[in-house]
Amino acid sequence: MPTPGARGFRLADIAARLGGDVLGDAETVVVRVATLASAGPEDIAFLSNPKYRSQLSTTRAGVVILGRGAAADFNGPRIVVPNPYAYYARVAALLHPPVKTPPGVHPSAVTASPVPASASIGAQVSIGADVVLGERVTLHPGCTIGDGVRIGDDSVFYPRVTVYPGCRIGQRAIVHSGVVVGADGFGFAPEGGAWVKIPQIGGVLVGDDVEIGANTSIDRGALDDTVIGDGVKLDNQIQIGHNCVIGARSVIAGCVGIAGSTRLGEGCMVGGAAMILGHLDIVGGTVISPGSMVMKSITRPGKYTALYPLEEHDRWLHNAAQIRHLDALADRVSELEKALSKTNTEG
């Protein structure tokens, strides 16, 4: 098979590697992925959202990835698969592989622990004592790795990631710039009008195949460890409090805040800017809508929303005023029901 480059891949080669049914000219060569609207003859596009189906008649894409139900709507070369979106992701990885950093240790790096020959350590990286790095680990410039940290094979840390002492990161982690793993959780005990800091003596355990978005913070546990399960995907600017447990394969979108000691089961999905209070249990398979405030545990899987719909401002104020009087209205309805029941009985 040809290797990716200026000539790209033939449609036949893509199908041989990734599967799928080829319809049309299997010799068509593509070099990039693109949207239906912007694609040209050397691009491969995809259709996963039905609202873009009409673009199949106007796209200039050389190849389109389609589901079975839309296969007849495009006459050009196409590949038919059960999940076009996931297939697109794999094609994108095939055509646009990440640039590999050559192994070695930059002269400005400070290393107090052994570094495997296969690792790549960038400029001004700091590695503390008793650190164990797996094979082929990449630490981009400015990363700080505290004492006693463990990082698994094939993990990549982008610039200025900080991992506090005693934390563990699994294999094949992708950790983006500005992430902080293992800072102190927010723990203070009130005493005489002041606040006494509670030592945070737990750690952070991150499983295999986890991705952590830019500027996300994961606090260390107060006593037990904060745990991020295998296959979890975290977006940018997320706050995960101390002693939280995020179940395997959960996905959390940007700007979510999860307070301490909350547990999410496996396969949860949390929309952007949702807030989850502390000491809650969220059962596996739960979907939380963007912007929701979760104030109690969720014991049955399903989709949950705690968000007041967007309205014009004056209308929103009117509705909000009515909501404030719901308790009084409920009491009035209850009294009217009692009066009506009494009248029916006497009649």
- Catalytic residue numbers, as ranges: 242
160: nearest Cα among 140, 135, 189: 140
The Cβ of residue 149 has, within 10 Å, a number of other Cβ atoms equal to 26
- The CA distance from 199 to 191, in Å, is 15
**Region of residue 82 (phi > 0: left; psi between -120 and 50: alpha; otherwise: beta):** alpha
Find the helix or strand (DSSP H, E) in which 171 lies.
none
| Burial per residue of 176-200, b for 16 or more beta-carbon CB atoms within 10 angstroms, e otherwise | bbbbbbbbebebeeeeeeeeeeeeb
* 42: nearest Cα among 60, 66, 23, 18: 60
Q: Strand, coil or helix: what is 204?
A: strand
Q: Provide DSSP, 240-278.
A: E-TT-EE-TT-EE-TT-EE-TT-EE-TT-EE-TT-EE-S
The whole-angstrom separation of Cα 49 and Cα 165 is 44
What are the two backbone dihedrals, phi and then psi, of residue 143, each rounded to the nearest 5 degrees?
-75, 145
DSSP strand pairing (43-46 vs 32-33): parallel
How many Å apart are CA 287 and CA 131, to the nearest integer?
37
